[in-house]
Amino acid sequence: MNLKSFGIITYIVLLGIILFFIPQVNASENSCINCHKTLTPFMEVQQQFNQIRIQHLERNVACSLECHEDRVRQLATANYQQWSESIHAVKGVTCDMCHGGNPTQATKENAHTGINKTVDPQSPVYYTNVPKTCGKCHPNELASFENSKHFQKLEDLKLAPTCTTCHAPHRFTVLNQEEFRNFCGNCHSVSKKVAPYDIPVQAEYLLGQVNKLKFNIDMSNQDIFWAKKNGTDVTEAQAHADNAVKTLGTLAVLWHEFNLTHFEDQVDTANMEINKAESIVKPTPSPTRTAAPKSPGFSSLIGIISFLAVVYLIKKNLRE
């Protein structure tokens, strides 16, 4: 490695470290965080409550922390804990950015100025106002969402999901493929009477297709890499693969239109690009060249066994 590239790498690493710490520094000057952090259930006095609860339980007295704690205070506690583990905490998206209030004020009364109760239709986190509140930082998702039937129904004050229905506050996680079927089925089911009923199955299938697309892109990039090493001109193949990557990048936002046909079309388009790339770097060999031996020879058996061993190892690693 020459001196110049060493310098560049050091610079990038330092920048990374600085960027990593900036949000934390800001967050620690934020009164919402400072105070709500101390509401953690593991404070001395709350640990005592916990002790009492355990003693009660030992004596078969059904009781929970709720006997001793006011409900809102508990929510404020739980919300801090969930938030502190979220990507929002890492990126310095503090409580006031969604709830309002004044984070430079130390007392609760002053800091809470302008914060309405969650159930107040004026609150920025009232369910119909949530898309706009999130949209300040996620404008593309909001724009897509505004095109959806979900948004229309939400505006009509009907039963429909808002951003936080799907992205649990305050962890703000993204549902995975397995969680989908149950989740969409909360509304899209015969018993809940929100048509179309096949949505949960379709949604699960489509997210599966997205995962497959990611896999195909990885594979084709590897094939392109090896073809290039072997002296093949990969310019065109790379262009097709890049198109697929570009489309993949738009899918998460597009998803929020909840137009599954349009979504599927885009996934198919990206898969077609991958097929084109593959047909260039891995043209189907002519039958004469690959004419299979009548029975698998010893070397192909060894080949199959080692392939299976590699697949097994990869799967095992993935599970760990």
Binding to ligand HEC in span 251-270, by CB under 6 A: 251-252, 255-256, 258, 260
- Token digits of residue 243: 């198109």
Q: Which is nearer to ligand HEC, 56 or 253 (CB)?
A: 253
- Nearest distance from residue 238's CB to ligand HEC, in Å? 24
Q: Tell me the window of 12-20, 156-164, 271-279, 301-309 that interacts with ligand HEC (CB under 6 A).
A: 156-164
The pattern of x and - marking residues 65 through 104 that bind ligand HEC according to CB under 6 A reads -------xx-xx--xx--x---xx--x-x-xxxxx-xxx-
- Of the candidate residues 199, 237, 244, 277, the single one contacting ligand HEC (CB under 6 A): 199
Q: What's the rounded Cα separation, in Å, for the pair 153 and 147? A: 11
Q: Show the tokens assigned to 94.
A: 């503090």
Alpha-carbon span 244 to 276, nearest angstrom:
10
> CB-wise, 145 or 223, nearer to ligand HEC?
145
Q: Cβ of 252: how many Cβ atoms within 10 Å?
A: 13
Residue 248, interface with ligand HEC (CB under 6 A)?
no
- Residue whose pair of structure tokens reads 């989740």 in the numeric block: 183
How far is Cα 317 from Cα 159, in angstroms, rounded to an integer?
42
Q: Find out whether 118 and 126 touch, Cβ atoms under 8 Å.
A: yes
Q: Is 210 in the site for ligand HEC (CB under 6 A)?
A: yes
Q: How many residues bind ligand HEC (CB under 6 A)?
A: 80
**Which listed residue (27, 46, 134, 238) binds ligand HEC by CB under 6 A?**
134
Evaluate whether 206 touches 265 at the Cβ level (below 8 Å). no
Least separation in angstroms between residue 316's CB and ligand HEC is 26
Q: For the segment 261-320, give every residue that binds ligand HEC (CB under 6 A).
A: none
Stretch that binds ligand HEC, among 9-17, 40-48, 142-150, 234-242 (CB under 6 A): 142-150
How distant is the alpha carbon of residue 263 from its chain centre?
A: 18
Question: Please, which residue, 120 or 233, has the CB nearer to ligand HEC?
Answer: 120
CB atoms within 10 A of CB 93: 17
Q: Which amino acid is at 95?
A: C
Cα separation, 136 vs 142, in Å, equals 9
Site for ligand HEC in 160-179 (CB under 6 A): 160-161, 163-167, 169-170, 172-175
In the complex with ligand HEC, the residue whose CB is nearer, 91 or 315, is 91
Q: How far is CA 16 from CA 19, 29, 59, 90, 285, in A?
A: 5, 21, 54, 13, 47
Contact call for residue 154 and ligand HEC (CB under 6 A): no
